[in-house]
Amino acid sequence: MKSLDYIAPNSAEAAVALLSENGESACPLAGGTDLVVDLKHAPGDIELLVDVSRIDEFRGIEETEDGLRIGSMVTYGEIMSNPICLEKTPAIVDASHTIGAVQTRNLGTIGGNLVTCVPSADSAPALMVLDAEVTVAGLDGKRRMPIEDFFVGPRKTSLEPYELLVDIWIPKKNLGKPSDFYKFGLRKGQALALVNAAAAIDIKKGKIIDPRIALGAVAPTPIRALKAEALLANEKPTPELIVEASEIAVTECKPIDDFRASLKYRQQLVRTLTRRVLTRSVEIASNR
Ligand SMILES: Cc1cc2nc3c(=O)[nH]c(=O)nc-3n(C[C@H](O)[C@H](O)[C@H](O)COP(=O)(O)OP(=O)(O)OC[C@H]3O[C@@H](n4cnc5c(N)ncnc54)[C@H](O)[C@@H]3O)c2cc1C
What is the tally of structural domains in the chain?
3
Q: Ligand 1: does its nearest atom lie under 6 Å from the Cβ of 50?
A: no
* Nearest Cα residue to atom 1 of ligand 1: 100
Q: Ligand 1: does its nearest atom lie under 6 Å from the Cβ of 138?
A: no
Domain end: 124, 157, 174, which one? 174
Report how far apart, in Å, the C-alpha atoms of 254 and of each of 26, 119, 141, 220, 262 are.
35, 11, 36, 8, 12
Domain end: 51, 71, 87, which one? 51
Whether residue 199 is found in the same domain as residue 122: no
User: Which CATH number goes with the domain that contains 236?
Assistant: 3.30.390.50
pLDDT band at 91 (very low <50, low <70, confident <90, very high): very high
Whether residue 97 is found in the same domain as residue 122: yes
Whether residue 141 is found in the same domain as residue 213: no
Whether residue 166 is found in the same domain as residue 227: no
Whether residue 150 is found in the same domain as residue 189: no
* Nearest Cα residue to atom 37 of ligand 1: 112
CA 46 to chain centre: 26
User: Which CATH number goes with the domain that contains 143?
Assistant: 3.30.465.10
What pLDDT is recorded for position 201? 98
Q: What percent of the chain has pLDDT over 70?
A: 100
Domain end: 174, 196, 215, which one? 174
Whether residue 196 is found in the same domain as residue 270: yes
CB atoms near residue 147 (< 10 Å): 21
Report the pLDDT averaged over residues 25-37.
Answer: 96
Whether residue 188 is found in the same domain as residue 280: yes
Q: Ligand 1: does its nearest atom lie under 6 Å from the Cβ of 121?
A: yes
pLDDT band at 257 (very low <50, low <70, confident <90, very high): very high
* Nearest Cα residue to atom 36 of ligand 1: 112
CA–centroid distance, 108 to ligand 1, in Å, is 6
CA distance 44 to 139: 24
User: Which CATH number goes with the domain that contains 13?
Assistant: 3.30.43.10
CA distance 243 to 159: 37
* Nearest Cα residue to atom 7 of ligand 1: 99
271 by Cβ neighbours in 10 Å (0-12 / 13-18 / 19+) ranks as middle
pLDDT band at 42 (very low <50, low <70, confident <90, very high): confident
* Mean residue pLDDT across the chain: 96
Whether residue 170 is found in the same domain as residue 250: no
Whether residue 62 is found in the same domain as residue 150: yes
The one-letter amino acid code at 137 reads A
CB atoms near residue 267 (< 10 Å): 19
Whether residue 61 is found in the same domain as residue 169: yes
Compute the chain's Rg from CA coordinates.
Answer: 19
CA distance 167 to 275: 31
66 lies in which domain range? 56-174
Whether residue 68 is found in the same domain as residue 145: yes
CB atoms near residue 59 (< 10 Å): 18
